[in-house]
């Protein structure tokens, strides 16, 4: 078996990737210390320097941390999101879903006060569906436009809904629906939000930092993402970039104490970056380092290009190996790709996964309810050489073709 930390790495673009873990001989944990490349939607493979940034203990009352790190991050996030004035940012403990729930629960008013608020949720996958579930649990009035998991939401259909229901006050949608890897039409829906005067919420969890966008240009009022996606930090907190005036109007609306986005923002604003409750200090330091590395790579445009190249290279290689993508090329994001599972009766995802992991690569199960798929992500410290190595590993892991002739790379599938 070849593990990734057995590979020579001196001149590799990921040469700072943690491959020299101290030897660990305790058998049950041994495998976990072997580095594998995470080809997943996050947490993802991070650089050695991002991991090393966590080797410091910060005090949450200290200016070095609050002013020196948290406030810097807040400013940098705003700059990544737009050059326009009038935007602010809030960091929030927890995974991405916590921030989505915080936005829905803090921004959309209660049903029983003067003007009833109602959100139109555009859904075409698990993360749109999760917003619907959250709205239901919090008693938020909502209208769902569900176009199915493998269709792109139709802008005309959204316009028809907005024309028919004037009580809708907010629109919420996912940018990259990580379920399938589909990129949703946030620009066109943003134009509708502007035209109809609706507050626009975008879950850009898996795209922010990896796909260029400008919240002001797109008319986004609240954008949500998290530390362990395209910025390439580690898990532990999420963040929201918001129109300052819209967030400032949210006082007292939250249905939750811990997930009160306004209160969290107020605390950070009034106390120079102080978090209301225990701050994930190590994760925050890692994120600050990840932001530096994003800038060193050439910013979001350069990172997007790398992800895009990875995705193209992956899809071309997988097709040579006989796999089919779930989506047409025109619908794909550069973030993650869903492939149909082989139909051979001997195929089991778990066995395929285990064979790839033994070669140092971790892929992801499918999440589409209607089709049997698996997914491969491109985000994180993943480069061209990694995709070449992954494709070779996949070729070796196609155990279900042992009884028939394997596809030879560069030859047309039969
Ligand atoms: C688009 C999108 N929204 C929400 C989430 C939920 O984030 P988390 O799993 O960090 O709670 C994810 C996770 O991958 C996502 O891709």
Summarize pLDDT for 302-356 with one digit per residue, the tens: 999 999 999 999 999 999 999 999 999 999 999 999 999 999 999 999 999 999 9
Residues 198 and 252 in one domain: yes
Contact 212, 73 (CB under 8 A): no
Q: Is the CB of 96 under 6 A from ligand 1?
A: yes
Question: Could you give the number of structural domains in the chain?
Answer: 2
Domain with residue 72: its CATH number is 3.40.640.10
Question: First CA to last CA across the chain, in angstroms?
Answer: 30
The first and second tokens of residue 148, run together, are: 């199915």
Average pLDDT for 8-24: 38
Q: What percent of the chain has pLDDT over 90?
A: 85
Mean pLDDT in residue range 113-121: 81
Which pLDDT band holds residue 35 (cuts at 50, 70, 90)? confident
- What's residue 113's pLDDT? 58
pLDDT of the residue at 412 = 45
Residue 178 Cβ inside 6 Å of ligand 1? The answer reads yes
Tokens encoding 34: 């072997």
User: Which range marks the domain in which residue 12 is found?
Assistant: 4-48+298-401
Q: How confident is the model at residue 114 (pLDDT cuts 50, 70, 90)?
A: low
User: What does the pLDDT read at residue 24?
Assistant: 38
How many angstroms separate the CA atoms of 59 and 64, rounded?
8
Mean pLDDT for the stretch of residues 258-281: 98
Does the CB atom of residue 174 touch ligand 1 within 6 A? yes
Within a domain: 406 = no
Q: Summarize pLDDT for 170-215 with one digit per residue, the tens.
A: 999 999 999 999 999 999 999 999 999 999 999 999 999 999 999 9
Centroid of ligand 1 to alpha carbon of 24 (angstroms): 33
Q: Is the C-beta atom of 127 inside 6 A of ligand 1?
A: yes
Ligand 1 atom nearest residue 42's Cα? 14
Lowest mean pLDDT among 118-127, 186-195, 277-286, 395-404: 395-404
Q: Are 382 and 310 in contact (CB under 8 A)?
A: yes
Give the model's pLDDT for residue 115: 64
Whether residue 132 sits in one domain with residue 18: no
User: CA–CA separation, 194 vs 136, rounded Å?
Assistant: 26
For residues 244 and 283, state if they share a domain: yes
Q: Considering 245, 270, 294, which residue would you say is the last residue of a domain?
A: 294
**What is the spatial distance between Cα 203 and Cα 131, in angstroms, rounded to a whole number?**
9
CA of 205 to the centre of ligand 1 (A): 6
> Is residue 206 located within the same domain as residue 312?
no
Instruction: Please tell me the residue having the least CA distance from ligand 1 atom 7.
Output: 96
What spacing in Å lies between the alpha carbon of 97 and ligand 1's midpoint? 6
In a domain, 57, yes or no: no
Split at pLDDT 50, 70, 90, the class of 32 is very low
Statement to judge: residues 25 and 98 lie in one domain: no
- Beta-carbon contacts of 191 under 8 Å, excluding residues fewer than 6 positions away, are 219
Whichever domain contains 30, its CATH number is 3.90.1150.10
Within-domain flag for 159 = yes
For residue 110, name the pLDDT band (cuts at 50, 70, 90): confident
Together in a domain, 175 and 314: no
Question: Is 102 part of a structural domain of the chain?
Answer: yes
pLDDT at residue 221 tops 80: yes
How close is the Cα of 367 to the center of ligand 1, in Å? 12
Residue 386 shares a structural domain with residue 344? yes
Alpha-carbon distances, residue 239 vs 123, 222, 335 (angstroms): 21, 10, 19
Identify whether residues 213 and 86 lie together within a single domain. Answer: yes
Same domain, 84 and 33: no
Q: Is the CB of 82 under 6 A from ligand 1?
A: no
Q: What pLDDT does residue 403 have?
A: 52
**CA–CA separation, 28 vs 189, rounded Å?**
50
CA of 138 to the centre of ligand 1 (A): 19
Q: What is the pLDDT of residues 147-173, one digit of tens each?
A: 999 999 999 999 999 999 999 999 999
Same-domain pairing of 219 and 255: yes
Last residue of a domain, one of 248, 265, 294: 294
**Residue 29 confidence (pLDDT) above 90:** no
Lowest mean pLDDT among 92-106, 367-381, 392-406: 392-406
* Domain end marker among 269, 294, 319: 294
């Amino acid at each position: 078996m070849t593990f990734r930390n057995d590979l020579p790495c001196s001149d590799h673009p990921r040469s700072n990737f943690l491959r020299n873990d101290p030897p660990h001989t305790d058998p049950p944990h041994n495998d976990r210390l072997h580095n594998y490349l995470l080809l997943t939607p996050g947490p993802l493979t991070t650089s050695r320097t991002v991991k090393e940034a966590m080797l410091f203990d910060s005090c949450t009352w200290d200016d070095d941390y609050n002013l020196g790190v948290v406030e810097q991050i807040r400013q940098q996030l705003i700059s990544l999101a737009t050059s326009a004035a009038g935007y602010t940012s809030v960091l929030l403990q927890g995974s991405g879903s916590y921030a989505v729930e915080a936005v829905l629960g803090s921004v959309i008013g209660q049903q029983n006060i003067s003007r009833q608020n109602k959100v139109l949720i555009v859904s075409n996958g698990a993360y749109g569906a999760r917003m619907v579930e959250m709205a239901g649990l919090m008693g938020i009035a909502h209208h769902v436009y569900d176009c199915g998991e493998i269709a792109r939401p139709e802008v005309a259909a959204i316009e028809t809904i907005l024309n028919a229901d004037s009580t809708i006050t907010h629109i919420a949608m996912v940018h990259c629906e990580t379920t399938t890897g589909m990129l949703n039409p946030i620009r066109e829906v943003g134009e509708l939000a502007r035209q109809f005067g609706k507050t626009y919420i975008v879950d850009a969890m898996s795209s922010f930092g990896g796909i260029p966008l400008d919240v002001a240009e797109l008319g986004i009022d609240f954008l949500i993402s998290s530390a362990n996606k395209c910025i390439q930090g580690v898990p532990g907190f999420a963040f929201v970039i918001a129109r300052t005036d819209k967030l400032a109007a949210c006082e007292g609306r939250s249905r939750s104490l811990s997930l009160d986005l306004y209160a969290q923002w107020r605390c950070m604003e009034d106390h120079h970056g102080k978090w209301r409750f225990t701050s994930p200090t190590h994760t925050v330091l890692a994120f600050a380092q990840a932001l530096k590395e994003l800038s060193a790579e050439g910013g979001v445009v350069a990172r997007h290009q790398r992800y895009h190249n990875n995705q193209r290279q992956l899809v071309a290689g997988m097709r040579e190996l006989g796999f089919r993508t779930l989506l047409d090329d025109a619908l794909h994001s550069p973030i993650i790709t869903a492939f149909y599972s082989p139909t051979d009766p001997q195929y089991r995802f778990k066995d395929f996964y285990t064979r790839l992991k033994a070669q140092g690569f971790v892929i992801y199960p499918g999440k589409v309810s209607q089709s049997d798929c698996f997914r491969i992500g491109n985000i994180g410290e993943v480069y061209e050489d990694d995709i070449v190595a992954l494709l070779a590993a996949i070729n070796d892991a196609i155990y279900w073709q042992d009884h028939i002739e394997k596809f030879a790379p560069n030859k047309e599938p039969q």
